[in-house]
Structure 1
Amino acid sequence: MTIEHSAGDPEAAYMGAPALDIELPWLQRFTRTPGFEASREFLLRKAAFLDRLTLQQTESHGSEATGPLVRTAETAAFGLVEHDTEHHGLSPKGADLAAGEDYRAYVREAYRAWSLAQNH
C-alpha cells in the first residue's frame, strides 16, 4: 500500500466517523472483554481515535501544548503499521513510512478504506 496524498487529508479520511465521545466507549469496552487481543480493527480504530483527538486538540491548543498527545498518536499509528507489516505484507520502506506523520497518514488511508468497506 502506498500513501495517497489525498488520503492523508483528515477530513476525507474521517468523513462519517463516529464522534470521539462515541468511539472512546467502544475502545474501552473492547479492552475489557475477556481474552482481549488487539485485532486489526481495534488497532485501526484506536490509532484513528488518537489521530483525530490530536488533530482536534492541536487546533484548539496549538502544537506546542499537544506534543505528548502527538507522540501517543504516532505510537498507536506505528502499532498499526507493525501489525500490517506482520500480517498483511505491508512494507514500510516501500510505502515510504519513515516518520510519525507518515504513520498517521497511513492510519488515515487505512481508516478511509476500512470505513468505505463497512458501508458496502
Structure 2
Amino acid sequence: MFEIRIICDPADTDRVTTALASAFTTGSVRRHPTRDGDRTRLYLTADHHPAPADCPIPEQAYADAPSIGDEIGWTARILATAPCFTELGREFYLRKAALLDRIALLHETDTLNSDAETAEAAALHLLDLDQPGIICAPRHYVRQQYARRTHDHQ
C-alpha cells in the first residue's frame, strides 16, 4: 500500500481520481485547497489491483465447502456455545464471511441485494481483523482466504 498526493486544478479532480481508481485499488480521497487557494491537493491511499490468480472465482473458492445449510448450523452452534463474541477466532469470522458471500452470490442478479451489503460488511470485518489498513476487494479477499484454508485442511 502507498499514499498518493496530487496537486491539480479543481476542475480536474474528478478526472484524476477516476483515472487513479482504474489503475489502482484506492481508498477514500481527501481534498484540501492549496495555500494559494487556486488548486486542490488530493491525498489517497492506493494499492495494486490483486493479480487474477490471487482471487479465485467463487466456484473455485467454495468447491469443497460444506452446504450452506451445514455452514449455517455450524455458525449457530459456535454462537450458542461461545462465552462472548471477543473469544470467537479467525476461523469463525472467515467461515461466516464465506457463508454470507455464498448467500449473496445466490441473489447477485437482484438490484437491491441486501445480502451483498451484509457479505461486504462481514468481509470487511475479516479484512480488518487480518490486515488493518489493507485496501482490496473484501469479498475477493474472503474467497482467497477460504480457498487457502480449504487447501491447508486437505
TM range (shorter): 0.7 to 0.9
The one of 62, 65, 68 equivalent to 1:17 is 65
Contact 2:97 2:142 in 1 (8 A): yes
The one of 104, 119, 141 equivalent to 1:73 is 119
Q: Using the alignment, how far apart are the partners of 1:13 and 1:3 within structure 2?
A: 16
Higher helix share: 1
Q: Using the alignment, how far apart are the partners of 1:107 and 1:34 within structure 2?
A: 23
Provide TM-score, normalisation by structure 2: 0.62
Q: Which amino acid aligns with 1:75?
A: A
RMSD of aligned Cα (Å): 1.7
- Give the unaligned 5+ runs of structure 1: none
Answering whether residue 102 of structure 2 is matched by residue 46 of structure 1, we say: no
SS of the counterpart of 1:35? coil
Deviation digits for residues 37-61 of structure 1 (CA, Å, limit 9, x no counterpart): 2210000000000000000122xxx
Q: Using the alignment, how far apart are the partners of 2:50 and 2:75 within structure 1?
A: 26
Deviation digits for residues 16-45 of structure 1 (CA, Å, limit 9, x no counterpart): 100101110000000111424221000000
Higher RCO (Cα < 8 Å, 6 or more apart):
1
**Greater Rg, structure 1 or structure 2?**
2
SS of the counterpart of 2:131? helix
Answering whether residue 67 of structure 2 is matched by residue 32 of structure 1, we say: no
The percent identity for this pair of structures is: 34
The aligned length equals 103
Runs of 4+ in 1 over 4 A off after TM superposition: none
- Give the unaligned 5+ runs of structure 2: 1-48
Higher strand share: 2
